[in-house]
């Protein structure tokens, strides 16, 4: 189990003698350094093909996969090459939904692991077609803690934040919101049925990440998708 996460196998640092705490910190640094080394190779591979890679992160149930299905369909309609790496602890349901659109998808099951790492992405790329001037979507495991610390070789993290989750999520999980290049405020079609305060959520987002771009959308109705697709096209041009 990952020591970065503070899992049950790693007691709180306050319970450790200083020497033990130091060893744990060194192990965490080694893990991240090894991951970053592989991530740099992933980034070089993607750059050689002018491929935009985005790391989609969220808490469970945010609507990431439904949003991703709609997104890849629209990218295909624009003749933009696209493939998906799906991360889940178990099952291949999400990858099957992506493949049903005609897009290549690799399922990675992490078992007890709570996030994808660069090695997993590196190995999955060998089983995907080259995406010259295309888009690689990496759907990470639903978790707002650990994925914020792991570079997968992506160009940026896109955080899917659902209006069903509560306005205070940015304050509860600031590391993930700070790491995001773009925040998609999803399921906005449900706002008439909720007590979710959009203005307060935006205020909390910009409190922890003043530079964050935010797009309000709905994968069900298509609201905001023109803005989302426009953002993607600009990132593809930059890549």
pLDDT tens track for 147-156? 999 999 999 9
Within 8 A by CB and 6+ apart from 65, the residues are 94, 97, 98, 139
0.75 exceeded by pTM = yes
Between the two ends of the chain, the Cα-to-Cα distance in Å is 34
Q: With respect to residue 2, please indicate whether it lies within any of the assigned structural domains.
A: no
Mean pLDDT for all residues in the chain: 90
Q: Is the pLDDT of residue 10 over 90?
A: no
Within 8 A by CB and 6+ apart from 117, the residues are 35, 38, 150, 152
Q: With respect to residue 72, please indicate whether it lies within any of the assigned structural domains.
A: yes
Question: What total number of domains does the chain contain?
Answer: 1
H helices of the chain, where?
Answer: 18-48, 64-77, 93-99, 118-125, 169-172, 174-179, 198-208, 225-238
Q: With respect to residue 178, please indicate whether it lies within any of the assigned structural domains.
A: yes
Q: With respect to residue 140, please indicate whether it lies within any of the assigned structural domains.
A: yes
Per the structure, the complete domain to which residue 198 belongs is given by: 16-238
As a whole number of angstroms, the distance between CA 59 and CA 79 comes to 31
Residue-level pLDDT at 195? 96
As a whole number of angstroms, the distance between CA 67 and CA 130 comes to 23
pLDDT tens figures, 173-192: 999 999 999 999 999 999 99
**Which CATH number covers residue 66?**
3.40.50.300
Q: With respect to residue 161, please indicate whether it lies within any of the assigned structural domains.
A: yes
As a whole number of angstroms, the distance between CA 169 and CA 77 comes to 34
- In 3D space, the residue among 1, 61, 39 whose CA is nearest the CA of residue 186 turns out to be 61
Within 8 A by CB and 6+ apart from 194, the residues are 163, 164
Q: Is the pLDDT of residue 143 over 50?
A: yes
Q: Is the pLDDT of residue 222 over 90?
A: yes
Q: With respect to residue 6, please indicate whether it lies within any of the assigned structural domains.
A: no
Q: How many residues does the chain have?
A: 239
Our CA angle for 214, 220, 223, nearest 5°, is: 45
Q: With respect to residue 142, please indicate whether it lies within any of the assigned structural domains.
A: yes
Residue-level pLDDT at 15? 41
Q: With respect to residue 4, please indicate whether it lies within any of the assigned structural domains.
A: no
Q: Is the pLDDT of residue 171 over 90?
A: yes
């Amino acid at each position: 189990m990952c020591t970065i996460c503070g899992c049950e196998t790693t007691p709180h640092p306050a319970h450790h003698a200083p020497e033990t705490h130091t060893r744990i910190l060194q192990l965490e640094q080694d893990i991240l350094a090894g991951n970053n080394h592989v991530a740099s190779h992933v980034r070089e591979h993607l750059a050689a093909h002018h491929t935009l890679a985005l790391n989609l992160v969220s808490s469970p149930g945010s609507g990431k996969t439904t949003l991703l299905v709609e997104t890849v369909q629209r990218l295909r309609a624009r003749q933009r090459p696209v493939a998906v790496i799906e991360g889940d602890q178990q099952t291949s349901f999400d990858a099957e939904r992506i493949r049903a659109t005609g897009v290549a998808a690799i399922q990675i099951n992490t078992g007890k692991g709570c996030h994808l790492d660069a090695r997993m992405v590196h190995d999955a790329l060998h089983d995907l077609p080259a995406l010259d001037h295309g888009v690689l979507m990496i759907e990470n495991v639903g978790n707002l803690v650990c994925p914020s610390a792991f570079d997968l070789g992506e160009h940026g993290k896109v955080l899917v934040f659902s209006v069903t989750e509560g306005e205070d999520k940015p304050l509860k999980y600031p590391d993930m919101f700070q790491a995001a290049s773009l925040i998609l405020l999803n399921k906005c079609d449900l706002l008439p049925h909720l007590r979710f305060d959009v203005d307060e959520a935006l205020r909390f987002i910009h409190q922890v990440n003043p530079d964050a771009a935010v797009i309000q959308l709905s994968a069900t109705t298509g609201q905001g998708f023109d803005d989302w697709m426009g953002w993607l096209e600009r990132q593809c041009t930059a890549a």
